[in-house]
Amino acid sequence: MSTLYLQSVGVLGPGLPDWPTTRRILSGEAPYDAQVEAQPNPMLLPPNERRRVPRLVRWTIAAAHEALIEASRDPADVAVVFTSSSGDGEIVHRLCEAAASPAREVSPTLFHNSVHNAPAGYWSIGAGSQQRSVALCGHDASFAVGLMEAVTLVCTEQVPVLLVACDLPFPEPLAALRPIGASFAVALLLSPVPCRQALACWQVSIGAGAEATAIPAALPATLATNPAAAALPLLAASTRDAAETVRLTYVGGQHLAVEVRRCH
Amino acid sequence: MRPLVISHFATANPLGLGSVATLRGLVERRGALRRMDFHATPLETWIGRVEGLEEQPVAGRLAEFDCRNNRLAQAGLRQDGFEEAVARARSRYGANRIAVILGTSTSGIEHCERAYRERDANTGSLPPWFRERHTLNLFSVADFVQKYLGLQGPAATISTACSSSAKVFASAARMIEAGFADAAVVGGVDSLCLTTLYGFGSLELLSREPCRPCDAGRDGISIGEAAGFALLERPEPGSRGVALVGYGESSDAYHMSSPDPEGEGAYLAMRSALESAGIEPADVDYLNMHGTGTPANDRIEDRAIFRLFRESVVCSSTKGWTGHTLGAAGITEAIICALCLSAGLVPGSLNLERIDPTFSSRVAVAAESRDLRYVMSNSFGFGGSNCSLVFGQLA
């Protein structure tokens, strides 16, 4: 059992343009409105980079930055754990198209942007951060796999960790085999100590059996097809006053059980 | 960190299958690079290839995982009595108390490349034999290895380009320290594919000859493929053998594919690895460099090593033997470090005719026999992802 504190949140998804709006929806204070578009604006990056970077990087950095602004925290101070089930599907598609073409030509920028840790790399450059970062994948359990990495970092190194999860729909023909119905990114600043503005205290353990708490009923079912959206039940519980246990799909036929307690 | 004993390890790399073939290749100074013969391509480069994968499919209950990357993983798992060692650990700790944390940069993308060559001419759809989850997805390799070994504990794929299978040691150490596992299978698998060959080609980083790390005339990397695995456990009183004693991680915060010219990130990773091990620079007797063979990488690493160690450490890159095995480089060179610690061997360098005269560090050219207390292994990747590991002997 490991204990950590949720300090701040960044969110980006259809109808979920930021954390304040998302929090009101999750706590039942406001209705969900699918018409509100997410605007992934990676303000942390230099202006000339913002448009050029891959979509996955834009989404990730925009969500990550929101969490740090909310916590009034210097981005150069936190370790980063990035997790994604499928990385940047657009880039995979273009690389495989190139490999299947007669000339097989790949652009150098496309290639260096293809690494799974591209969002972490751009983050470190934008934030001027030489802190450690890691990029992980756990297929459908990618959020829980990232959470486990963040929990072990927070608890053993006693450092604040920014956990960022993002998945975007694949283009065709890969989309037919790996349907991800909506874009979603979430960033969670996790801390080993209960700071003043902490939202919730989480105690994380591994449980037997592949159980998972469903995403809140107010949200559309298409969101549930995005592995990063596994964070939403955890965030919903973190907005409620009553303590509860949220279960997340993990690997090896197990689940993560997170006991959530509000701090205020 | 508290040391973790590497109780068993297994390797399949261009030098051969298993630790004996690997050590023999190092000692006999027999490089494993060959002219590009993977697919018919006009690329003028040399590669390190593992023999026989074409004839060894993943079959039986795990057949849906069959692809070059998981074949390579399987070839690695079958070496050095590793499966048996994990089976013993499984009965001792329980299947759910052993983590599987593996690195890869491209997983089974080669399988996806093949599928794209067979797209339906009318609809553009992929052929029915293509299985995204079991091949292309980065988690595929950890999923496959976990099921192959009959384990049910924590699992993850770490994909941070060429530092992937070094960083697995750090993550596993934290997982054991935090109490989520009693032992861990760490490692990495990366296999040849057109994506990396043409990608590094587009960056003009491929050598036209067998790569020559630290040589004055070095002109790029030779891409290799490899699988490697290590079983990490808490030492017991009287435990002997090689142990992971420290790790350090950092980010360059400089550029996606070029290393920071000042080598600050590399320096920070090495320094924090020494701090984590609780040792001084002078305690390290051999440093296995990332040493890819590109002009910039080796120059910057030399500068960072000299800044931290001055002339106290002997260093070299072993990529002249194996090529750069990318996401498997960390584990392949960790295993080389373990073999060198046990054998009392500084392997020196291969294909090195004249040490770059601008270098300040002590680069070993020939092999040397000497007692080694601690060795360090460096792995640096795109995105400025750096990881240094320290290994030592348990007394």
Please provide the DSSP assignment of B181-192 as one string.
-SEEEEEEEE--
**Over the stretch B303-349, which tens digit does the pLDDT of each residue have?**
999 999 999 999 999 999 999 999 999 999 999 999 999 999 999 99
Amino acid type, A89: G
Would you name the residues of B annotated as active-site residues? 162, 290, 324
How many contacts does A have with B, using Cβ atoms within 8 A? 216
* Short-list A79, A116, A226, CA closest to A167: A226
Q: Which positions in chain B touch A125 (Cβ < 8 Å)? A: 253-256, 384
Q: What is the pLDDT of residue A264?
A: 61
Give the residue on B whose Cα is nearest the Cα of A123.
B253
Give the domain B4-394 fold: Peroxisomal Thiolase; Chain A, domain 1 (3.40.47)
pLDDT exceeds cutoff 80 at A78: yes
What mean pLDDT comes out for the span A221-226? 96
Look at B137 and A86 and tell me if their CB atoms are within 8 Å.
yes
Measured between alpha carbons, how far is B13 from B135 in angstroms, rounded to an integer?
A: 20
Helices (H), chain B: 19-27, 68-77, 82-93, 109-117, 140-148, 164-177, 194-202, 264-277, 295-309, 319-322, 329-343
The tens place of each residue's pLDDT in chain B, 395 residues long, gives 999 999 999 999 999 999 999 999 999 999 999 999 998 888 999 999 999 999 999 999 999 999 999 999 999 999 999 999 999 999 999 999 999 999 999 999 999 999 999 999 999 999 999 999 999 999 999 999 999 999 999 999 999 999 999 999 999 999 999 999 999 999 999 999 999 999 999 999 999 999 999 999 999 999 999 999 999 999 999 888 999 999 999 999 999 888 999 999 999 999 999 999 999 999 999 999 999 999 999 999 999 999 999 999 999 999 999 999 999 999 999 999 999 999 999 999 999 999 999 999 999 999 999 999 999 999 999 999 999 999 999 97
Q: Which positions in chain A touch B158 (Cβ < 8 Å)? A: 134-136
Bridge partners of residue B314, in order along the sequence: B286, B362
Q: Give the residue from A136, A159, A170, A250 with the most B CB atoms within 10 Å of its CB, the best one to mutate.
A: A136
Look at A132 and B250 and tell me if their CB atoms are within 8 Å.
yes
Q: Specify the 3-state DSSP secondary structure of B52.
A: coil
pLDDT exceeds cutoff 90 at A72: no
Tokens standing for B79?
A: 């070496």
Measured between alpha carbons, how far is B84 from B86 in angstroms, rounded to an integer?
A: 5
Asked if residue A76 lies in contact with residue A123, where contact means CB atoms within 8 angstroms, the answer is: no
> What ipTM was predicted for this assembly?
0.97
**Over the stretch A2-57, which tens digit does the pLDDT of each residue have?**
999 999 999 999 999 999 999 999 999 999 999 999 999 999 998 888 889 999 99
Confidence of residue A132 (pLDDT cuts 50, 70, 90): very high
DSSP label of A85: S
* Short-list A180, A237, A197, CA closest to A13: A180
Q: Where are the domains of chain A?
A: 2-197
Tokens standing for A70?
A: 């909310």
Distance from CA of B360 to the nearest CA of A (A): 25
Q: What is the pLDDT of residue A97?
A: 96
Q: Which positions in chain B touch A116 (Cβ < 8 Å)? A: 105, 138, 159-161
Q: What is the pLDDT of residue A1?
A: 59
| Bond before A233 cis per omega within 30 degrees | no
Residues in chain B: 395
Q: What is the pLDDT of residue A258?
A: 98
CA A151 to chain centre: 14
Confidence of residue A195 (pLDDT cuts 50, 70, 90): confident
Where does A2-197 sit in CATH, by number?
3.40.47.10
- The answer to whether residue B109 neighbours chain A at the CB level (below 8 Å) is yes
Q: What are phi and psi of A72, to 5 degrees?
A: 50, 50
Residues in chain A: 264
Q: Please, what sign has the CA dihedral across residues B72, B75, B81, B86?
A: positive
CA A70 to chain centre: 16
Distance from CA of B137 to the nearest CA of A (A): 6
- The answer to whether residue B42 neighbours chain A at the CB level (below 8 Å) is no
- The answer to whether residue B129 neighbours chain A at the CB level (below 8 Å) is no
Neighbours of B300 (CB within 10 A): 24
**Over the stretch B336-350, which tens digit does the pLDDT of each residue have?**
999 999 999 999 999
* Short-list B127, B159, B128, CA closest to B142: B159
Give the residue on B whose Cα is nearest the Cα of A147.
B156
Residue carrying the six token digits 């599907």 = A89
Q: Specify the 3-state DSSP secondary structure of B348.
A: coil
Q: For the purposes of burial, counting CB atoms within 10 Å of the CB of B307, is it exposed (0-12), middle (13-18) or buried (19 or more)?
A: middle
Look at A174 and B132 and tell me if their CB atoms are within 8 Å.
yes
Give the residue on A whose Cα is nearest the Cα of B133.
A139
Exposure string for B110-141, b = 16+ CB within 10 A, e = fewer: bbbbbbbeebeeeeeebeeebbbbbbbbbbbb
Q: Give the residue from A152, A155, A178, A250 with the most B CB atoms within 10 Å of its CB, the best one to mutate.
A: A152
Asked if residue A229 lies in contact with residue A195, where contact means CB atoms within 8 angstroms, the answer is: no
Tokens standing for A255?
A: 């689940």
